[in-house]
Amino acid sequence: MKPKTTLIITALIGLVFSSVMYIAPEFVTSEQFPNAEGQGFADLVTVRYGIASLILALVIITYHLRNIEGRTFQAHVMRGYTLAFSVVCITTLILQILGKISAVPPILGTGIVAILSFISWRGLAKDPD
């Protein structure tokens, strides 16, 4: 898979997550933390806005990286995306397994990005310039 395609898919997935967190932070919070209530719930909703802005920042950076040139640079970017999204996916998966949060959509989203990034990175490593 070409890095440009991977980065466009990554940006779209991130845009969906960021938009949902901006539009419906209460829904996202109640889905991830069904037992939260009162001030704790309100604080978690506020945190959703911060997380949404961070995701949107990554979306903007990702979208602008889609036109990167040079196989070496592309390989470094794809390796970084593979490692970063793998860490987020594994952390979220562990929190899900431990029952700390309910996070199936983020696990799937970050897992897809990690796999696509890995495929792009390996493709770049196999094909010399």
Mean pLDDT of 87-99: 94
pLDDT, one tens digit per residue, over 25-43 is 999 999 989 889 999 999 9
The first and second tokens of residue 94, run together, are 């562990």
Q: How many Cβ atoms sit within 10 Å of the Cβ of residue 92? A: 22
- Cα separation, 117 vs 89, in Å, equals 13
pLDDT at position 27: 94
pLDDT surpasses 60 at 24: yes
pLDDT at position 129: 56
Q: Tell me the domain boundaries of the chain.
A: 3-126
pLDDT at position 113: 95
Which residues have C-beta within 8 Å of that of residue 56, sequence separation ≥ 6? 14, 15, 18, 22
Confidence (pTM): 0.83
Q: Residue 74 in contact with residue 3, Cβ under 8 Å?
A: yes
pLDDT, one tens digit per residue, over 70-85 is 888 999 999 999 999 9
Q: What is the 3-state secondary structure (H, E, C) of the chain?
A: CCHHHHHHHHHHHHHHHHHHHHHCHHHHHHHHCCCCCHHHHHHHHHHHHHHHHHHHHHHHHHHHHCCCCCHHHHHHHHHHHHHHHHHHHHHHHHHHHCCCCCCHHHHHHHHHHHHHHHHHHHHHHHCCC
pLDDT at position 128: 61
- Give 88-93's long-range contacts (Cβ < 8 A, gap of 24+): 89/114
